[in-house]
Amino acid sequence: MTTTATMPAPKSTTARSLAPDLARGLMLLGIALAHAPQFLLDWSRGSSVLNDVAHFFTTLVTDNQARGMFVFLFGYGLGQLTQRQYARGSEWPSVRKLLRRRSFWLILIGLAHAVVLVPFDVIAVYGLTMLFLASLVRARDSVLWWLGGVTLIPGALFLTWQSVQVYTTALQGSPFTIAKYMEPTFAGHLLTNAVGWPAKTVVAILFGVPGMAWGLLAARKRMLDEPERNVALLKRIALLCLGAALAGRLPAALLAVGVWSGGTPAVWLTYAAHSFTGYIGGIGAAAAIGLACVRIGHSRGRLTTSLAAMGQRSMTFYLAQSVVWVVLFYPFTLGLRDDVSFAASLAIAVVMWAASLPVASWMQRKGYRGPFESLLRRMSASPSR
């Protein structure tokens, strides 16, 4: 019985598939919407109706689900990277070294991001998770299935605890957000983030492993690279996962806006369902985008091209979002954390994301890689090259 899986080689080492890049571009909008309210001190400011609509939307669509899609796509990208290396004739020892070098640089970039900008870092989390999974890239499918399933439990339970804290503190008029812990000076900001980074990053690995393991499995089947060959599979995944996510997350969305209320056990059960189905919903959304790409075919419009260009540079635009958050909300910059409503923060997120699209399109036309993608590629390249 073999303990490793055969990695399928891509048909081309140069052509890019639309679906993964398109999914990453849309994912950045979900990440922006999920993060924006976390920089506010008061969620009750402004129109209560608009805030309730915005809160319902984020609880149903983005909270703990955008992250699920993000992690899944990172795992998928890890699988793509491995396949490309095999297609170029690399042997496993050299592939493993590449993965470890890339993990190291992801950790360093993530550390700088979390200390200098905002502590909502996923880059270092993915680097550490990738370091852990590097030896499992060739594992049998069953191993990755079990790994994802077993680690899903503690990861989702941690997110459940976090969501209950957010809900409870929001009811008390003081939401559990990063705004409460912002330092008045940049020096204090650096020190606080540096001290808190290790524990936050290690804990965050809990919710990184399941999506990455399942993303690796999806890459083996080339689920998003060749969506036209996987239409039936994508339909099943999209319908089942998105249906389960809707059923599991709707009660939490209704609870968040006060349509119903319950005791502590009901709240915990509600947010447990919300967290568990967030992973599933993220995968379902990626599958739905794969199906959309089958319909799009080769007739890509301007919006599709711009979204894919942003997705190719997802790390750069993810980091750019953090720059915007610091400039707008921190006390040592514009300090708007107590002046913006919940609904307005989502509007800021949408405008920021939309403004990034023409920048990504321009970079694509000029042939510019994202600067951080170029940095990672250069620093993780083999020293012998």
CA atoms of 225 and 215, how far apart (whole Å): 12
Instruction: Look up residue 237 and give its two tokens.
Output: 């995944």
Please report whether residue 66 resides in a domain.
Answer: yes
Please report whether residue 3 resides in a domain.
Answer: no
How confident is residue 34, by pLDDT bands cut at 50, 70 and 90? very high
Whether the CB-CB separation of 243 and 264 falls below 8 Å is answered with no
Number of independent structural domains in the chain: 1
Whether the CB-CB separation of 25 and 310 falls below 8 Å is answered with yes
Q: Which domain holds residue 350?
A: 20-379
pLDDT score recorded for residue 14: 43
pLDDT score recorded for residue 125: 86
Average pLDDT over residues 222-227: 90
3-state helix, strand, coil in the chain (%, to 5): 75, 0, 25
Place of tokens 């036309």: 365
Please report whether residue 6 resides in a domain.
Answer: no
For residue range 271-306, list pLDDT tens digits in order: 999 999 998 999 999 999 999 999 887 778 899 999
The proportion of the chain whose per-residue pLDDT surpasses 70, expressed as a percent, equals 95
Q: What is the pTM of this model?
A: 0.90
Please report whether residue 63 resides in a domain.
Answer: yes
Please report whether residue 100 resides in a domain.
Answer: yes
More confident residue, 198 or 225: 225
Phi/psi for 52 (5° steps) reads: -65, -40
**Which residues, 6+ apart, have CB-to-CB distance to 12 below 8 Å?**
none
More confident residue, 205 or 253: 253
For residue range 350-381, list pLDDT tens digits in order: 999 999 999 999 999 999 999 999 999 888 87
Instruction: Look up residue 283 and give its two tokens.
Output: 């995968």
Please report whether residue 157 resides in a domain.
Answer: yes
Average pLDDT over residues 181-195: 93
Please report whether residue 369 resides in a domain.
Answer: yes
Please report whether residue 197 resides in a domain.
Answer: yes
